Chains A and B, each alone.
Chain A
Amino acid sequence: MITMRQEPVRQRDVWALRLLLAFSLLGAWEYLAIQEGGLFLPRASSAFVQMVRTLGTPELWQAVWVSNISILIGLPVSLVVGIGLGFLLGRVRRVDHFFGYYLDLLMVVPMIAVVPIIIVALGLGLQSRVAVVVLFTLPVIGMSARAAVRVIDAARIEMARAFTATRLQIWTKIILPEAAGPIFTGVRLGLSRAISGMVVVELTLIPAGLGGLIVDHRARFEATALFATTLVIIAEGILLVAILRKVERAAQRRLTGVAA
């Protein structure tokens, strides 16, 4: 608040500014592409048209499926292991004392550097792709779960204990409902990293799926197709995260009983 900001903003203005921004960005892209001749930078319009066109081809959906298998397997693995690990670290001080620190560090290191080692260990197949997705997602999911069960109000647990609640009841009635929100956030962050992990491995050493398509386009200098495929990957990321955000809000409303 650098200036006074009391006045409510009119929705019309917000949308006007949004559209203006979108048009000027796309317009600048279009203009630069025309200037450049479209050899390396295709026009915005042709990139989007090409994207829509490829969305109608079976090859693209085949690639989307092949790529996403690694997420479909890897993300559940990360969820189970990550949340389990997070609960353990969050509720058992002794363990956290020795390992919590490293989980935190795993979140900040460039995991992509580990990809070559994974490939040496697991080969050039699906196993490696799944392993990379797990490696990209596990730390963030684990850290969120750890943080989520850590901050639970000790007084409430104490009270539940005084009313002879069992360990299971304490978990299901107090800890889990309160922890659900932050865990969901962790899952959302995990998902967007999962897509990065999925693409990284396909772009570097195992050219399959969408990453494989991009590698092909690059080899054949098909600029428009490369842009279109990239747009598809980005769209997948934005779409999945948006869906998860919706689910997250709905779940939060149900758990807390108030509009979040």
Chain B
Amino acid sequence: MMRLLDRYPQAVTLTLLLVVWEVAARTVQPTWLPRFSAVARAGRKLAVDGRFLELASTARTLLVGMTVVIIVAGVLALAIASSRLVEQALEPYVNAALATPTVALIPVFVLLWGFGDATRVATVISFALFPVVVTWAEGIKQAPAHLIEMARAFTAGRRKRIVSVVLPAAAPLIITGLRIGVVQGIKGVVSAEILIGVIGIGRLLEESRFILPQLYAIVTVLLGISVVVYLALIGVEERLTRRTTVG
């Protein structure tokens, strides 16, 4: 039994949390804590009447935003990694962008583009772009110089050098950057929808502000989804890192 507990420590902690939750909700009965069982019921109901489908538009927005982020970050990271002048010139801007509390930009986006897709996409970009740029530039810079030299000696052109030497060397950090970007992007799209309040998750939360079990169900599902996405990306990352370091 002990060995089983040690084997799955995360499951133990989760079970413990759920038990404490249910017991607290039944005995102490704080007004802000519905029973876990009630939350599960509310969640099932939301799933059945299809209101979670609202999340599809959230996912689509995230996808559009991340596509833009990948393209722009790729260009910027290549520029930073290949020219010391660009790197030094951009440094204060990148630092400022990283230090900017990006949620504060959402009202500005709303003012410019209203409650539509553009606002959400812009938020995803503003949350994810610079963390990805920094990680990718770091990855590209790590490409071993002697390999690049050799490729050059074998008359590989610039594009060929990037595709067959730099990118494979940078692959692990590229995936890391992508993971950081997606995590940031999820935070961005969720923040935008909550601040806007009339679309997607924001609307779901707004509707259930006074229906506690439903509110908890939505929040739990949301956190659950972001955890699953994160773990999936970590899985891909580990597999890829192993391949590039061993092979």
Contact = CB atoms under 8 A, between A and B. Distances in A.
A242 B88 contact: no
Instruction: Name which of B30, B111, B194 has the most chain A CB atoms within 10 A of its CB.
Output: B111
Contact of B93 (A15, A21, A227): A21
Contact of A110 (B110, B141, B226): B226
Given A110-B186, A115-B194, A230-B105, A105 B230 contact: yes
A116 B209 contact: yes
A151 interface: no
A108 B99 contact: no
A113 B219 contact: yes
Contacts of B148: 1-2
B227 A18 contact: no
A14 B32 contact: no
Nearest to B5: A98
B161 to A, nearest CB: 6
A37 to B, nearest CB: 13
Most buried by B among A99, A112, A192, A240: A112
Contacts of B96: 238
Contacts, number: 160
A258 interface: no
A120 B212 contact: yes
A112 B9 contact: no
Q: Which of A113, A116, A117, A120 has the most CB of B within 10 A?
A: A113
Interface residues of B, number: 66
A189 to B, nearest CB: 10
Contacts of A238: 96, 99-100
Contacts of A102: 10, 13
Contacts of B82: 1-3, 5
Contact of B81 (A2, A99, A108): A2
B194 A109 contact: no
Q: Which of B107, B141, B166, B216 gathers most chain A CB within 10 Å?
A: B107
Contact of A226 (B90, B111, B143): B111
B107 A9 contact: no
A241 interface: yes
Interface stretch (A51-59, A72-80, A167-175, A196-204): A196-204
Nearest to B210: A120
Interface string A218-260: 1000010011001001100110111000000000000000000
Nearest to A8: B84
A97 B6 contact: yes
A1 B169 CA distance: 11
A237 B190 contact: no
A40 B111 contact: yes
A260 to B, nearest CB: 16
Interface in B124-145: 140-141, 143, 145
B4 interface: no
Contacts of B191: 110, 112, 200
A5 B85 CA distance: 9
A45 B110 CA distance: 21
A112 B88 contact: no
B166 A40 contact: no
B187 interface: yes
Contacts of B143: 1-2
A44 to B, nearest CB: 13
Contact of A203 (B9, B103, B111, B216): B103
Contact of B92 (A2, A18, A105, A199): A18
Contacts of A108: 183, 226-227, 230
- Sorted nearest first, the 3 A-B pairs with minimum C-beta distance are A121-B32, A241-B99, A17-B89
12 contacts: A2-B166, A14-B85, A21-B90, A113-B205, A116-B209, A116-B215, A196-B103, A199-B103, A218-B107, A218-B111, A226-B108, A240-B99
